[in-house]
A and B are shown apart, each in its own frame.
Chain A
Amino acid sequence: MCLAVPGRVLDIEERDGTRMATVDFGGVVKEVCLEYLPDLRVGEYAIVHVGFALQRLDEESARQTLELFAELGMLQEEFGDAWEMAAAEAGVDPVGVGPVTEARLAEMSAAEVSAEEVRDR
């Protein structure tokens, strides 16, 4: 959550007196507030955090950082379904009640299974 993710501005408009942009984060598109970076233009890249553009970034750096965050699974954490991820981690159904299903078990990360194997040894 503390991480900011680079994105590319697709379009800009005023909404309720606030400068807003549509921003592409390597395929995921989100609404982003430009009040802290009002002179950002369409086609430029910026570091975006929880829906706010915070600083400009050059295209090459933005691409490299996006690749790294994708590799670290951080884009999934930022833009994925938080309830599903939390449920998988907790080993329960996504609504937060009931036992883990076989399907949910299968979705558990290999790392977690591995750690349990180590623990059982």
Chain B
Amino acid sequence: MKYIDEFQDPELARRLLDDIRATVTRPWALMEVCGGQTHSIIRHGLDQLLPDEIELIHGPGCPVCVTPLEVIDKALEIASRPEVIFCSFGDMLRVPGTGRDLFQVRGEGGDVRVVYSPLDALRIAQRNPDRQVVFFGIGFETTAPPNAMTVHQARKLGVENFSMLVSHVRVPPAIEAIMSSPSCRVQGFLAAGHVCSVMGVGEYPELAERFRVPIVVTGFEPLDILEGVRRAVRQLERGEHTVDNAYARAVRPEGNQAARAMLEDVFEVTDRAWRGIGVIPDSGWRLAPKYRDHDAEHRFQVGGIRTVEPAECRSGEVLQGLLKPHECEAFGTLCTPRTPLGATMVSSEGACAAYYLYRRLDVPAVKAREASPVV
């Protein structure tokens, strides 16, 4: 009970934990998909508060982490050009490409700017008509609608010097890929609440049925996560596998229909490579043909850049739940926030960063490896 008194409602947390303890009769492995949930879990010690039978596996829910090295290299190439103002969210600055990152590109004289919103990048383009302004469009279903609206606005307003380097990813195909892997141990999912705020829950029943896996839409607060676990465990113990919404205050079943309509207009589904994992069919979006004029990959001819990811970073296994961050030999030694091998160590939502930040350094690597199912 190390952390429970820090909860907003410790009594409710105790009741949820008691209920979980009373329900669970055998081991279950649940995957939380969202990196924000991972941080909340580790910060509040939820994985240690839960009964031993329940293992929380950290999923690929950090968009920064899953952006492939090849896309980072394309961004670095574009950002290095003198005619370009390259705009990005702040958490991409230190994600390593081949040999350097956006932070270093600025140190070398590149005009790299951090924006809060993609609309800020559009405004920069309007104010600098003699420059090329490129926005780095990555993210899951939560980020894609704002980026889609920005491209739509650029075309509507005739801002020709604005383009976007797009590498958006979608959660349901990732769940499908994880469940299809022979080494998969996941028996239930805590689905990412804010992704579902946009997309609704309509994509999940087919997955729950096909893989016979409960999917519980879950928020970020410790009590939300305990409630998500409670509902998932109850289903598992009963042999059920349905979609359950434990975050109804922020998730309507149909999601945000205006946002979904804009996504369909601006983007089209495509195969995407996930860093450390490889290509997952239909797992991403790219700009639809009618928006090709605003596609930075096309405008700057960087489509030919091909990058092989280094083997020493095992973030791909971390992102698939096959390896806990501290089980990696490089964790905390070769790989730290100052010298990251992969994005999972520098992203604010990365699992490795969560373990590092909250000092989960106490599990000996050898012991952990013996317990790991990694093949």
Instruction: Show the binding face of A for B, using Cβ within 8 Å.
Output: 1-4, 16, 18, 30-31, 33, 35-38, 47, 49-52, 54-55, 57-58, 61, 64-65, 67-69, 71-72, 74, 77-79, 82-83, 85-87, 89-92, 95-97, 109, 111-112, 114-116, 118-119
Choice from A3, A35, A58, A86 contacting B349 with Cβ under 8 Å: A3
Is the beta-carbon distance between A30 and B250 smaller than 8 angstroms?
no
- Per the bound structure, the CA–CA distance linking A78 and B116 in Å amounts to 8
Across-interface contacts of A30 in B (CB, < 8 A): 116-117
Chain B residue nearest to A87 (CB atoms) is B103
Chain B residues whose C-beta falls within 8 Å of the C-beta of A112 in the assembled complex: 336-338, 356
> Which residues of the other chain, A, contact B120 by a CB distance below 8 angstroms?
51
B94 beta carbon closer than 8 Å to chain A: yes
| Alpha-carbon separation in the docked complex, A11 to B322 (Å) | 47
- Decide if A90 touches B338 in the complex (CB within 8 Å): yes
Is A86 a contact of B119 with CB atoms below 8 Å? Answer: no
Choose one: B118, B140, B192, B338; the contact of A51 (CB below 8 Å).
B118
Flag if B107 contacts A95 (CB, 8 Å).
yes
Beta-carbon contact of A2 and B194 below 8 Å: yes
Bound together, the chains give a CA A118 to CA B34 distance in angstroms of 28
Smallest CB gap from B261: residue in A = A36
Q: How far is the CA of A76 from the CA of B43 in the complex (A)?
A: 16
Contact (Cβ within 8 A) B251 A55: yes
Chain A residues whose CB sits within 8 angstroms of the CB of B107 once the complex forms: 92, 95-97
Which residue of B8, B103, B222, B356 contacts A86 across the interface (Cβ within 8 Å)?
A: B103
- Tell me the bound Cα distance from A71 to B337 in angstroms: 20
Q: Enumerate 19 A-B pairs (CB-CB under 8 Å) in ascending A order.
A: A1-B92, A3-B194, A3-B220, A36-B256, A36-B262, A37-B258, A49-B194, A50-B118, A50-B139, A54-B194, A54-B259, A55-B256, A68-B221, A96-B107, A111-B356, A112-B337, A112-B356, A115-B359, A118-B361
B-side contacts of A54, CB under 8 Å: 142, 145, 194, 197-198, 256, 259
**Could you mark each residue 154-175 of chain B with 1 if its beta carbon is under 8 Å from any beta carbon of chain A, else 0?**
0001000000000000000000
Q: Is the CB of A72 within 8 A of B40?
A: yes
Interface residue B291 (Cβ < 8 Å from any Cβ of A): no
Chain A residues with CB below 8 A from B194, complex form: 2-4, 47, 49, 54
B149 contacts chain A at the CB level, 8 A cutoff = yes
A36 touches B104 (CB 8 A): no
Among residues of A, the one whose C-beta sits closest to the C-beta of B260 is: A36
Measured CA separation A11–B250 after assembly (Å)? 22
- Further contacts, 17 of them, CB under 8 A, given A72-B40, A89-B338, A92-B107: A1-B347, A1-B348, A2-B61, A2-B143, A2-B349, A4-B142, A4-B197, A50-B118, A51-B116, A55-B198, A67-B8, A77-B348, A83-B114, A111-B358, A115-B359, A115-B361, A119-B332
Residues of chain B with a CB closer than 8 A to A4's CB: 142, 194, 197
Q: Report whether A50 and B259 are in contact in the complex, using a CB–CB cutoff of 8 Å.
A: no
Does residue B333 face the partner (Cβ distance < 8 Å to A)? yes
Docked CA distance A90–B37 (Å): 25
Which residue on chain A has the smallest CB distance to residue B249?
A: A61
Contacts of A79 in B (CB 8 A): 116
Q: Does B213 contact A (CB under 8 A)?
A: no
In the complex, how many angstroms separate the beta carbon of B153 from the nearest chain A beta carbon?
Answer: 7
Residues on the B chain within 8 Å of A111, using CB: 356-359
Would you give the shortest CB distance from A28 to chain B, in whole angstroms? 10
> For B91, what are the chain A residues with a Cβ–Cβ distance below 8 Å?
1, 77, 82
- Residue from A3, A35, A86, A90 within 8 A of B90 (CB atoms): A86
Contact B139 A86 (CB under 8 A): no
Nearest B residue to A2 via CB reads B63
The reply to whether A65 and B220 form a contact with Cβ atoms under 8 Å apart is yes
Question: What residues on B are CB-neighbors of A55 within 8 Å?
Answer: 197-198, 250-252, 256
CA distance A92 to B361 in the complex (A): 25
| B36:A3 contact, CB within 8 angstroms | yes
Contact indicator A83/B43 (Cβ below 8 Å): no
Q: Contact between B337 and A89 (Cβ–Cβ < 8 Å)?
A: yes
Complex: chain A residue closest to B347, CB-CB: A1
B106 at the interface (CB under 8 A from A): yes
Q: CB-CB < 8 A to A33: which residues of B?
A: 117, 119, 146, 149
Residue of B nearest to A91 (CB): B338
**Assuming the A-B contacts A36-B256, A61-B249, are A96 and B104 also in contact, with contact meaning beta carbons closer than 8 angstroms in the complex?**
yes
Nearest B residue (CB) for A53: B256
Check A1–B103 contact: CB distance below 8 A: no
Contact A49 B250, CB 8 Å, known A2-B35, A2-B194 = no
> A52–B149 contact, CB under 8 A?
yes
How many whole Å from B104's CB to the nearest CB in chain A?
Answer: 6
